[in-house]
Structure 1
């Protein structure tokens, strides 16, 4: 007896005949003709090398083999039916869902606290883990389910990876409130010359979605003005606050820092600081999953508010 050669559709016939004690009744329940049901029973008998059912005055009676396997087949079919037809509702208040995301160190500072607050308020038993994944490796990590979603300066062009624009962002310069440019008027926007005369501190994390800061400085031929490189964006405010250094960071981050520290934000020349897009990305295989839909809706609610104004 080779299970791999068994047509699993026949097991529905076995369970139906066992339930009803009649080939005709079983066929009616399965929307099969009497000949088709009889043929299925014949194939079952050939496979199991057993009569399975024998005639009696009160109808078909199961053999000892059938009596052993039919109830188990029926139970497994019912379990499978329940699994396939049950609504996969998601109740955040009681779910113990575990999501995995990928955020850069700056993304962790900007996005993780609001997400954590939303989870504690609405899904207190759920879990969220930030996994370090380089931007180029995000599509593969989504496909392998290493992560469930990512937020950052991402432009996925891989099949199966979907993306939503959350907001558009641009870079600004940030200094201590006491800092002034070496020459020229201290207006709202620094000139290219004023920027070229400043001493710069930048973040150079090993895995980040913000490598474009240094790329921008290279295009401006200002990379030689970088006198200090930190591994994390979190170090930049203190470094600029207590020195004459100027740092270049996303405007959203600068606004957040200035709520806590005595810093000044300077706009950069428009030709210097192009806009860039911050996206939420996920894999198509989770598009209809209620738990994943819920967490993505939270990301949109918390961080997608600037999209309409972009």
Structure 2
């Protein structure tokens, strides 16, 4: 085995297959055709004298040698990428950077417009995409550079993942002006007894739903009073305006809707408070472009 004879581009293919467990998906992530990715795997197998990946019902499974190689190689590739980027000055005004963020459905509603407006003003040639990533896969996507950063109810529980608290949030109840409960005889906070007289709309997006609202209502023994469970927040305004239901949503969104529409809003007794964090991979800590974007997000949204 002569290292000088190894095409280092093949190592990117090895890492991509290890991450995706698929030759086809690895090729797509590297802009390679399926035959080109398969040929690269064949050359890797020949060089290392090992199968590296074997087929299984759930995709390609790495061999013992591959499990030793792939994580170490990925770490080195990320280090080299950061080294190169850190030696390139970043000019937001002229940058054509394509920013790939991961935000929930509600995050896109609340954060994307302001962030897009800031980019148009400060970095007009940049592009911005919201990449759909399951909350459980955010760390993997950050490590693979599939996304640059994520914002949401996320924790930095994986090695190499950094996080910064942007703000703390709680749940509020909103309804139409004429819908129950009426304000007569009510404080600005709904008690458990008052909630027990209502029926609810609770949003449950598949990718990011963390269960806090369900847990809260279950603890109050009110879970059976949830009548509507939309997957997205886009329908909440219509539901609040046109039904007699209480919609339970995060405070930031509740205030936004109540400022624009004829709705009423209450705090909820013992509603859980949760943290909204910005998370990124530690390998980008010193990247000038990443530092600029993190600073922009903190400036726009941090309330700590």
Question: Does residue 295 of structure 2 align to residue 301 of structure 1?
Answer: no
- Where do residues 188-227 of structure 1 align in structure 2 (5 Å cutoff)? 188-227=188-227
Distance (Å, rounded) in 1 between the aligned partners of 2:140 and 2:257:
33
Distance (Å, rounded) in 2 between the aligned partners of 1:199 and 1:124:
46
| Partner-residue secondary structure (3-state), 2:260 | coil
- C-alpha contact (below 8 Å) 1:183/1:194 kept by paired residues: no
Distance (Å, rounded) in 2 between the aligned partners of 1:86 and 1:188:
51
Deviations 1:24-67 (A, max 9, x none): xxxxxxxxxxxxxxxxxxxxxxxxxxxxxxxxxxxxxxxxxxxx
- C-alpha contact (below 8 Å) 1:152/1:209 kept by paired residues: no
Deviation at 1:3, TM superposition (A): 8.9
1:116 maps to: 116
Structure 2 residue runs of 5 or longer lacking an equivalent are: 6-82
1:267 maps to: 267
- C-alpha contact (below 8 Å) 2:86/2:286 kept by paired residues: no
Deviations 1:89-148 (A, max 9, x none): 111111000111111100110111111001111111111110111111111111111111
Distance (Å, rounded) in 2 between the aligned partners of 1:102 and 1:285:
18
Deviation at 1:186, TM superposition (A): 2.2
Distance (Å, rounded) in 2 between the aligned partners of 1:300 and 1:221:
38
Change in 2 beyond 3 A, CA 1:87/1:120: same
- Where do residues 1-310 of structure 1 align in structure 2 (5 Å cutoff)? 4=4, 87-181=87-181, 185-269=185-269, 271=270, 273-304=271-302, 306-307=303-304
Distance (Å, rounded) in 2 between the aligned partners of 1:151 and 1:248:
21
Distance (Å, rounded) in 1 between the aligned partners of 2:136 and 2:219:
22
Moved more, 159-168 or 227-236: 227-236
- C-alpha contact (below 8 Å) 1:184/1:194 kept by paired residues: no
Distance (Å, rounded) in 2 between the aligned partners of 1:259 and 1:249:
15
Distance (Å, rounded) in 1 between the aligned partners of 2:276 and 2:86:
36
- C-alpha contact (below 8 Å) 2:180/2:198 kept by paired residues: no
Change in 2 beyond 3 A, CA 1:183/1:283: closer
| Partner-residue secondary structure (3-state), 1:170 | strand
Change in 2 beyond 3 A, CA 1:277/1:139: same
| Partner-residue secondary structure (3-state), 1:230 | coil
Deviation at 1:210, TM superposition (A): 4.9
Q: TM-score, normalised by structure 2?
A: 0.70
Distance (Å, rounded) in 2 between the aligned partners of 1:127 and 1:115:
11
Q: TM-score, normalised by structure 1?
A: 0.69
Change in 2 beyond 3 A, CA 1:241/1:289: same
| Partner-residue secondary structure (3-state), 1:166 | strand
Change in 2 beyond 3 A, CA 1:92/1:179: same
- C-alpha contact (below 8 Å) 2:86/2:288 kept by paired residues: no
| Partner-residue secondary structure (3-state), 2:190 | coil
- What is the count of residue pairs matched by the alignment? 226
Distance (Å, rounded) in 1 between the aligned partners of 2:86 and 2:140:
31
| Partner-residue secondary structure (3-state), 2:189 | coil
Distance (Å, rounded) in 2 between the aligned partners of 1:165 and 1:135:
17
- C-alpha contact (below 8 Å) 1:180/1:186 kept by paired residues: no
Deviation at 1:181, TM superposition (A): 2.4
- C-alpha contact (below 8 Å) 1:154/1:209 kept by paired residues: no
